[in-house]
Amino acid sequence: MFRKFISILASLFIIFSSAFSTVNAESARGKVIFINMSRTSLENMMNIKEIGNRVEKEGYVGLMNIKGDQGNDDARSLATMGATGRSTIAQFDKKVAVDFVQPNVAEAKEYEASTGKKAKKIVNMEANRSSNENIEKGEFESTLGMVGQILSENGYKTSVIGNADYVDFDGQLVKNRNIAFAAMDNYGRVDDGNIDDINIKDNSMPFGISTDYKKLKAETKELYKNTDAIYVDLGDTYRLDEYKMNLNENTYAKMKARTYSRINSYLKEVFSMVGENDTVYIVSAFPSNLDYSNKKRLSPVMKFSKGVSGKGVLTSATTRRDGIIANMDIGVDILNHFGLSNEMMIGRTISNVEKENNIKFLQKEYSKINSAALIRAGVVNTFVGVVSASWVIGLIAVLLAKRIAPKYKDKLFTILKELIKFGIIMPLSFMVAPIFNFSGQVSMSLAVIGVTFLIYFIAKAMFKDDDLKQMGFIALVTIVLIAVDAVFGTYLMKNNIMSYDAMVGARYYGIGNEYEGVTIGSAVFAFAVLLYYKKIPKWVAAASFGVILITSAYPSMGANVGGAISECAAYLLFVLLMYNVKVDWKKIVGIGLAVVAVVGVFAFMDLSSGSPSHLGLFVQQIMLNGPGEIVLTFTRKIQMNVKLAQTSVWVNILIVGIVIIAALIFKPNKHFRVIAGKYPMVFRGFVAAMVGCIITLLVNDSGIVAASTASIYILIPVMIITINMILNEDKKEKIDANR
């Protein structure tokens, strides 16, 4: 009997211990308070005393990419924070941005009839419409409300308080409750909150509307007690930005000061309320109208965790860049706070990077990103325009060479030759310029120009009148610098005017599509020239291609799957041609299998890394969604290439290149055949690079860009070799005439 009593007592002890440990584990996770101050810049956030004073001592700060799907705005950014990826919404009526309501009995019945789900405190009456919008029209087919869904399934409650309602030009109230997108579940429901009765009439504030901060403080405390993730919209910042055009400098400053003073009081209350294990996010879901128009399209994010000491900047595996995160990382990080995750969500958890001068660091980074964005179009368009124009003029001169007066011919072709040569220098100049760490528009532009001329004169001084050696040297330095940069974290690539843009968010790290083409073309051409002059044995070239391929495609380096495919094919083909191997159908199939094997190896390494890049995420999506993900991805790539063909300046290089190749195959005197005979190894490089161009055009979502940059290393050498052959023929004719 005694043994049975002890056994029962022990069992009860284990059960209660387990129960209490579960409760303690859950309470140890703390709560999350997400505060949205939309349309507020980093500098303006720092002007709020509670934020400025706190950031000086603790907390982590970052800049957030705000991209949505099918457009960019506050609603899409907030929806993306709660969804599996970049999201769009069904904005069917200007007067009702999104129909979130606290339903009455009739609305609850209507909601339940349309969704088949029981209504909660807050619901989106058009939840199905927005979900279908993503499935039918969305580029990424994201699932809305995944954060709220996962929290709900695991027993956690979400709540929303506040709105950004405003009055339009017709004097009609526009309901803006987009904050609920970040907190809702898959069916548009939020457990608790207040989005209807939280504002008061105040003629000293924008649109005569102000958040009722007394009520906001009181209800935030109640929601803190009853729910686990509280989403707050301080709508006054949104209204202030929308109302700005109605104010002068003086009245705007007064309204701004009044708004920030009230927000400061609220934030003091929040920080005095939070517990030891709680996390507070202060976020601007979208930049101000002025910032957005000036291409300042990153928004500030601040993260304060009571249990975490220190200060610095935020980063994530999405961006792999200190101080930069994506909006789709926010929801993943909130789930991670509760020990939860979801494989469908493509965002990544946010990490802290210790940095004492975090604000100055972010301001410097943002200045560089913004300056690059402002000058990128002008600089790149000028580069492409000069290259294309020089090629066209060069081709016309080559085709009309016999008709040009002898006294002008030498000088004309010499000037043309040097002008054309700048096209092969520019990709290297764009790579070198970030070393100077300039952040202004003028200084960044001057750095590119200065470096371009410096490289030109160095190559000219080293190899004097040997154009092929000059171009080979420039191509070799380019590919070596790209490979070294990839090994050390692609700093030069991230800060490169010709490369990707953190504000666009198509890519944040690794080797971008522009330099994917450069990597193909410069490597093949550089080693073809070295082999032509017998400067290296063939095995060194083959081994070097292997190293370059690894640095380009390895997940923690170049992380470019399109590059892995096209480079592998181009490099293998050149190695076969280099060793005089006859390329038949068996060899072509072998190259194809090798490409598949290489991609498979890199995909395995990527998935095993625990922090997958683009390739690993693609494989994960296939595993989750089935083979249809492959069709979806390649459809997106084709659509992007069609769009680029219609809008991108890079297509000019591709068109001009095709015309030049077609012209030189047949004229003058079937010049391609002559080049193949005189420069056999270089010509084999041209063939391999052309194959790389074709493949990258097919497998990359910006294939036109990559193919264009790769073609630079085919067409510029061809043009210069052709011009030199014409000049040499003229010299020979003069010598023969003088005998």
One domain, residues 461 and 315: no
**Number of Cβ atoms within 10 Å of the Cβ of 250:** 8
Length of the chain counted residue by residue: 739
In the predicted model, residues of the chain with pLDDT beneath 50 are 1-6, 8-10, 12-26, 95-97
| Gap between the Cα atoms of 294 and 441, Å rounded | 13
How many whole angstroms separate alpha carbon 120 and alpha carbon 82?
Answer: 18
How far is the CA of 55 from the CAs of 278, 288, 727, in angstroms?
Answer: 17, 22, 67
Domain total for the chain?
A: 2
Any idea what DSSP says for residue 326? E
Let me know: does 172 contact 95? Beta carbons within 8 Å. Answer: yes
Element (H, E) at 314: strand 311-316
Q: How far apart are CA 645 and CA 702, in angstroms?
A: 10
Q: Does residue 16 fall inside a structural domain? A: no
- 381 with 330, same domain? no
How far apart, in whole angstroms, are the C-alpha atoms of residue 710 and residue 708?
5
List Cβ neighbours of 381 (8 Å cut-off, separation of 6 or more): 649
Question: Quick check: is 76 in a domain?
Answer: yes
Residue 151 tokens read as 């929290």
416 and 510 share a domain? Answer: yes
How far does the chain reach from its first CA to its final CA, in angstroms? Answer: 128
Q: What per-residue confidence (pLDDT) applies to 61? A: 98
Nearest to 327 by CA among 314, 340, 313: 314
Same-domain check for residues 285 and 433: no
pTM greater than the 0.85 cutoff: yes
- Return d(Cα 291, Cα 301) in angstroms, integer: 16
Predicted local confidence at residue 304, as pLDDT = 97
CA-angle at 66, arms to 62 and 71, nearest 5°: 175
Does 168 reside within a domain?
A: yes
* Per-position DSSP letters for 694-736, written without gaps between them: HHHHHH-TTHHHHHHHHHHHHHHHHHHHHHHHHHHHHHHHHHH
- What are the beta bridge partners of residue 174? 166
Asked whether residue 70 falls in the same domain as residue 201, the answer is yes
Give CA–CA dist 542/523, Å, rounded.
Answer: 11
Q: Please check whether residues 258 and 291 belong to one and the same domain.
A: yes
- Has residue 11 been placed in a domain? no
- Bridge partners of 232? 35, 161
Structure tokens at 737: 């005439």
Domain-terminating residue out of 295, 327, 356: 356
Q: What is the pLDDT of residue 634?
A: 62
Pull the structure tokens for residue 640: 């992007």
Cβ-contact 598, 564 below 8 angstroms: yes
DSSP conformation class of 401: G
The DSSP output letter for 175 is B
C-alpha 702/C-alpha 490 separation (Å) is 20
Is residue 190 located within the same domain as residue 310?
Answer: yes
d(CA 520, CA 710): 6
The 10s digit of each residue's pLDDT in 124-136 is: 998 999 899 898 8
Q: Look at residue 628 and give its three-state secondary structure.
A: helix
Domain boundary among 293, 325, 356: 356
pLDDT at 606: 63
Could you tell me where the DSSP H helices lie in 294-357? 327-337
In this structure, what token pair is assigned to residue 702?
Answer: 């910006």
Tell me if 657 is assigned to some domain. yes
Judge whether 243 and 206 are in contact, CB under 8 Å: yes
Instruction: Identify residue 679 by its one-letter amino acid code.
Output: Y
**Greatest pairwise CA separation for the chain in angstroms:** 128
In terms of Cβ atoms closer than 10 Å to its own Cβ (0-12, 13-18, 19+), residue 16 is exposed
Residue among 256, 230, 238 nearest 35 (CA): 230
DSSP assigned state of 349: -
Q: Which of 634, 649, 129, 150 is nearest to 376 (CA)?
A: 649
- Of 306, 326, 356, the residue at which a domain comes to its end is 356
Q: Is 547 exposed, middle or buried (0-12, 13-18, 19+ CB in 10 A)?
A: exposed
Nearest C-alpha neighbor of 187 from the set 133, 125, 103, 230: 125
CB 404 within 8 A of CB 412: yes
| Whether residue 389 sits in one domain with residue 278 | no
Distance CA 281, CA 300 (A): 10
Residues 225 and 286 reside in one and the same domain: yes
- Residue 37 Rama label (left phi>0; alpha psi -120 to 50; beta): beta
d(CA 527, CA 282): 52
- Cβ atoms of 522 and 427 closer than 8 Å: yes
- Do both 345 and 465 map to the same domain? no
Same domain (yes/no): 338, 400:
no
What is the predicted pLDDT for the residue at 725?
Answer: 87
- Asked if 566 and 706 count as a contact pair (C-beta separation under 8 A), the reply is yes
- Measured distance CA(394)–CA(416) in Å, rounded: 6
In this structure, are residues 424 and 474 in contact, taking their beta carbons and an 8 Å threshold?
A: yes
Encode pLDDT of 264-281 as tens digits: 999 999 999 998 899 999
Give Cα separations from 15 to 4, 266, 705 (angstroms). 17, 42, 63
Domain of residue 721, residue span = 374-738
> What Å distances lie between residue 11 and 2, 14, 16, 22, 227, CA to CA?
14, 5, 9, 17, 32
Three-state secondary-structure class, residue 469 = helix
**Is residue 351 in some structural domain?**
yes
Burial 40-70, CB ≥16 within 10 A → b, else e: bbbebbbebebbeebbeeebbbbbbbbbbbe
Residue-level pLDDT at 621? 64
Tell me if 285 is assigned to some domain.
yes
Number of H helices, E strands in the chain: 28, 17
Q: Which pLDDT does position 626 carry in this prediction?
A: 67
Q: Are 330 and 280 in contact (CB under 8 A)?
A: no
Strands 350-354 and 311-316, sheet pairing = antiparallel
The pair of structure tokens assigned to 110 is 């209507």
CATH number, domain with residue 90? 3.40.720.10
What's the one-letter identity of residue 55? V
Provide the pairing of β-strand 192-194 with 100-101.
Answer: unpaired
Q: How many CB atoms lie within 10 A of CB 262?
A: 18
Whether 579 and 651 map to the same domain: the answer is yes
Q: Is 361 inside a domain boundary?
A: no
